[in-house]
A and B are shown apart, each in its own frame.
Chain A
């Protein structure tokens, strides 16, 4: 039996009547029966329409008289927080783009100048409208580091529960408003459980909505917890290496999880954390901190410059892959981080030629 396809309700808001007519004609034919398009010539007219119509996606212009697109997005965020929002403008600037994304727009698109451009926009909007957000998300540690996820949650002052597991161990890390408040791994709890989870060489995680833990066992700052976790992981890798190389009659320490040659060989060699202004906050085995600060500041400048050329959103980090080591330079408004890790045992890296 065929289930009738869902019809999505789209609301286009633009003070340019000709553009709305073109959009309605072109997208109605492309969307066939799956798109129902409403149009409003101003933000206030759109807000009126939203009172009586259920809409799945609003696509708004930015430059409109009275109430502009950015203010309109701000109002929509409060009045319709679950509504998907996109922006389409003839005058795309980085400032507008950042403002729109900050106000919850999921797409920021320049107005097309050709039918091919319109078709591209149709595809992008179709992707957005059919995308179903889920509560939480999941990933594999191989591709996205667990540390990255924790850092993201803490920097964003988010509240969530991170569930981590591999074949040997299952645990949870509780993050409340950007603070790590509790961790559990097997029968252990507190900081040791946190370090144990972050020492896992592989596994999977799911990020769940926050729920209050039965206990609060961790109080330290997340930055230092992550640093300590890196140190413990490093130490664990060396203990495992020693266990592997020890004679078979002398069993080494029990370490959870399997350890590959890559993980045995990986070792943090240098770390620098400084403020957004370049004042060093923490340095470990960093032979020339001022030079590294200068490098981070150069990376930040270059990232801004690259971001002006291509609309890719805010800069997160630069990975520098070297022969035998790998460095990450992360630049945020309030801090900059440089970490270099040796990868001497890695055999599958693209060789330097």
Chain B
């Protein structure tokens, strides 16, 4: 079965401490993959939609972030935004390989837009 580059990024994000990965495309469709049964896919997709709403909320406050990091006691949710409206969300455990890899995944996410 052939996967799109977006699907490959989402499903290939596995690393120690990665809980889940999701991408919201400009047309509002979502791709997501759970690496931990406590973080089911449907919840990751709800998070993605919620985070998209938060981006609008922040814009209303004059803030246009390129990245948000929600830090909780036992994990972090990273949201990376792209100029075409696509969003990449990563749920990781803190101080893990997954948290360290966020920048690299962000670069891959950006390169998908530029087609390189």
Chain A interfacial positions (CB closer than 8 Å to B): 101, 109-110, 112, 116-117, 120, 143, 291-292, 294-295, 298, 302-303, 305-307, 309-323, 327, 350-353
Contacts and interface: CB of A to CB of B under 8 A. Distances in A.
A346 to B, nearest CB: 13
B67 A310 contact: no
Interface of B: 19-20, 36-39, 43-44, 46-47, 50, 54, 57-58, 61, 63-77, 80-83, 91, 95, 103, 106-107, 110, 113
B72 A350 contact: no
A139 B47 CA distance: 31
A305 B71 contact: no
Contact of B72 (A109, A295, A316, A353): A316
Contact of B38 (A110, A292, A305, A307): A110
10 contacts: A120-B36, A310-B38, A310-B44, A310-B47, A311-B38, A315-B70, A321-B67, A351-B66, A352-B83, A353-B83
A350 B103 contact: yes
A60 B54 CA distance: 38
Contact of A312 (B64, B72, B83): B72
Contacts of B110: 350, 353
A315 B72 contact: yes
Nearest to B62: A291
Nearest to A107: B74
Contact of A318 (B20, B43, B50, B70): B70
Given A305-B50, A309-B43, 13 more contacts: A143-B95, A295-B61, A302-B50, A306-B47, A310-B43, A310-B91, A312-B72, A312-B73, A312-B75, A313-B74, A314-B72, A320-B68, A323-B64
Given A291-B61, A314-B73, A320-B58, A352 B66 contact: yes
A312 B43 contact: no
Given A312-B72, A312-B75, A322 B38 contact: no
A321 B65 contact: yes
